[in-house]
Structure 1
Amino acid sequence: MTVLLSVVCLVNTLLLLAVIRRLNEQNRMLREGVPAGGRPPQGWPPPMAVEAGQRIGAFRVASLDGEVVASDELEGEVLVGFLAPGCQACDASLPGFVERAKATPGGRDRVLAVVMGDGAAAAEVHERLAPVARVLAENEEQGPLATAFGVGALPAFAVLSGSTLVASHSLVDRLETPAT
């Protein structure tokens, strides 16, 4: 009986160590965006299906303050962020996105913030973003903005040159452009 109990405890300990190792690996992947090998694992969604050098899809939507924003009217370098209230990674990314938006040349006219969702939590995010970005609302996962950018995971950040994607990443502090 003692031997059986010892074997069960040993197996339990080995399983616990395997789970801890996997959780540490997932945590590192979230922190770094991809594993050390530089390629995301199979099933790891990129933030956007549109790749650097490609044009984003066409869209024409009104910002929360009534200004019409259209993909074919974007000029210069534009910072874009897709965030959803209640998304833990989005909530953690919001302060960094606000700081990046504040530092964007051209000010809020060169920053688009897409808030996915509605309700009181979305209204709070809108308020935080309004001073630094033109805020756009998207209430459905496959709305015109998410479709135009091919958003596959949140948060998602991008830099455009006109309507051409220059760079994208799921971590705003990892979003690099040729000028940075």
Structure 2
Amino acid sequence: MTVLTTAVVLLAVVTALHVLLTFGLVTRIRELQQQVAGMPAKDPDLPRFGQVVAPFSVTDLDGDPISEADLAGPVQVGFFAAGCAPCTTMSDWLAKEPPATRFIALIDGDPAADNTKRLIAKLSPLGRVALIDPEHTSVLAFAITSFPTLLHLDSGVVTASGSRPSHFTGTPLPVA
């Protein structure tokens, strides 16, 4: 009887381990499917992989126009709001890990405010910067629902998107 009890307990332990392993594999497969689809995990409101940017026009701080024509080839576009803590985190990350390709920063903020000036000073060395408001056509053209949002684009098509640096872990960055 002791042998039979030991065998049943051993079989129960092996079955429980198998169920846990299967659950872990299913979870990992779902994460990988989201990455292949260009969607960072747990953030379905971001622009999706394959989305084409609609026409828009904005003027950068140097007075030069930026439009969908400027999205030819690989480019990163970031949307930021002055005074937004997650935007500060994202801009700090970008300052430490500069984009390997062209970069465009679109900032919602009052040009006279100190927090806007700090954000501009941090992002200007990375590429072109323009000031926008949340209802600007560029926000609609890129389907932005929250700040910050960072997009990797290739010829105006979204190849990756995220609102936190962790969304880009393991994501190949566009290179010019």
Which TM bucket (shorter chain)? 0.5 to 0.7
Q: Return 5+ residue gaps in structure 1 as ranges.
A: 1-34
Aligned match of 2:106: 114
Residues 1:169 and 2:162 aligned together: yes
Distance 2:64 2:166 in 1: 28
Aligned AA for 1:88?
A
Q: Distance in 2 between matches of 1:178 and 1:126?
A: 23
One-letter code aligned to 1:116: D
Q: CA–CA distance in 2 between the matches of 1:84 and 1:179?
A: 24
Aligned mate of 1:142, from 119, 135, 139: 135
Q: Structure 1 pair 87/57, CA: closer, same or farther in 2 (3 Å)?
A: same
Change (3 A) 1:73 1:145: same
Q: Which residue does 1:83 correspond to in 2?
A: 80
Q: What corresponds to 1:104 in structure 2? A: 100
Q: SS of the residue aligned with 1:72?
A: helix
Q: CA deviation at 1:45?
A: 5.9
Cα distance in 2 between the residues matched to 1:76 and 1:146: 20
Secondary structure of the corresponding residue to residue 54 of structure 1? coil
Match of 1:131, SS?
helix
Q: For the Cα contact (< 8 Å) 1:45–1:153, is it kept in 2?
A: no
Aligned counterpart, 1:8: none
- Please give the alpha-carbon distance, in whole angstroms, between the structure 2 residues aligned to 1:56 and 1:103: 20
Q: How much has 1:127 moved relative to structure 2?
A: 1.3
Deviations 1:42-69 (A, max 9, x none): xx662x3x32112111111111111211
Answer with 1 or 2: which has the greater Rg.
2
Structure 1 counterpart of 2:103, which letter? V
- Does 2:66 align with 1:69? yes
- TM-score with structure 2 setting the length: 0.67
Give the superposition deviation at 1:174: 2.3
Kindly report structure 1 stretches of 4+ aligned residues shifted beyond 6 Å.
none
1:151 deviates by 0.8
Unaligned ranges ≥5, structure 2: 1-26, 32-40
Instruction: Report the RMSD for the aligned CA atoms in angstroms.
Output: 2.4
SS in 1 for 2:126: coil
Matches of residues 7-86 of structure 1 in structure 2 within 5 Å? 38=31, 40=42, 46=45, 48=46, 50-86=47-83
Q: What corresponds to 1:92 in structure 2?
A: 89
Structure 1 contact 116–138 (Cα < 8 Å) conserved: yes
